[in-house]
């Protein structure tokens, strides 16, 4: 267990408990600490980081709440087993997920416009062709790399306020969570090679293998939003850990 001291360093960004949490989660998410690996104890971590034991306790508690570790009375803390495959499609907030990996998150809105739905979009959203929808095209970054290209359409008959929402500052998913809780979600996962336009938006090579997630969220039977999320295959993994209802967004 002594080698763990060389693996854990604070990055100087934010509160100390957040830095400790990131330092631990990096080793867990990278696979350096496999499921069942014993996490150093609170007292050892407090001495190593020069932090109060209460600060360490908070970091471990939040990692437990996120499903990354399990805590056993008198035995200590251990890296949790990964969730069943269905949990991989949990709707997650990239602005929370990426910092939890120990990476810097950045969001960039490229397009925010009101358009009339073409036939394909109308069918997906269960609305009449020509109905007004808000279209947003944006990118999510981990450090300096694009990890997700998001193209989203919002049903303006349900959410007219989307016309004037500040998507230049906040992602549409985070905004939707605050104004339109969803009752049901549908996912379709596929693979695709990046065409010229997509490759340029992803800062990737033409033909790059990509994971594509198409998502619709509903209020009763009405489609609130349809999104197409494209991830470069060499920068994205679906092995994240989630617990139901934690960090969800539309």
What pLDDT does residue 173 have? 83
Please give the share of the chain, as a percent, with pLDDT higher than 70: 87
pLDDT tens-digit readout, 140-161? 998 889 999 999 999 999 999 9
Query: Which residues of the chain carry a pLDDT beneath 70?
Result: 1-2, 82-92, 181-182, 236-250
What pLDDT does residue 92 have? 65
What pLDDT does residue 205 have? 93
Would you say the C-alpha torsion 210, 180, 246, 146 has a positive or negative sign?
Answer: positive
Using the structure block, give the residue that is written with the tokens 């944006």: 138
* Contact status, residue 227 vs residue 212, Cβ threshold 8 Å: no
What pLDDT does residue 140 have? 93
What pLDDT does residue 120 have? 94
pTM: 0.60
**Burial (Cβ within 10 Å: 0-12, 13-18, ≥19) of residue 155:** buried
């Amino acid at each position: 267990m002594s080698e763990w001291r060389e693996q854990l360093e604070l990055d100087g960004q934010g509160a100390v408990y957040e830095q400790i949490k990131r330092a631990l989660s990096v080793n867990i998410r990278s696979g350096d600490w496999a499921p069942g690996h014993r996490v150093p104890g609170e007292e050892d971590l407090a001495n190593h980081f020069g932090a109060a034991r209460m600060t360490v306790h908070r970091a471990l508690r939040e990692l437990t709440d996120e499903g990354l570790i399990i805590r056993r009375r008198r035995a200590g803390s251990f890296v949790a087993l990964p969730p069943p495959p269905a949990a991989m499609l949990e709707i997650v907030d990239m602005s929370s997920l990426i910092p939890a990996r120990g990476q810097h998150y950045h969001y960039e809105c490229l397009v925010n416009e009101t358009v009339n739905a073409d036939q394909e979009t109308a069918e997906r959203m269960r609305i009449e062709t020509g109905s007004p929808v808000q279209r947003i095209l944006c990118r999510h970054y981990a450090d300096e790399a694009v990890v997700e290209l998001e193209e989203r359409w919002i049903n303006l008959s349900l959410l007219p306020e989307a016309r004037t929402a500040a998507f230049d500052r906040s992602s549409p998913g985070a905004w939707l969570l605050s104004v339109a809780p969803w009752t049901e979600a549908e996912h379709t996962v596929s693979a695709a090679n990046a065409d010229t336009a997509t490759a340029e938006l992803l800062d990737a090579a033409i033909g790059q293998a990509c994971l594509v997630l198409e998502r619709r969220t509903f209020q009763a039977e009405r489609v609130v939003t349809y999104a197409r999320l494209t991830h470069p295959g060499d920068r994205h993994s679906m092995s994240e850990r989630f617990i139901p209802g934690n960090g969800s967004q539309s």
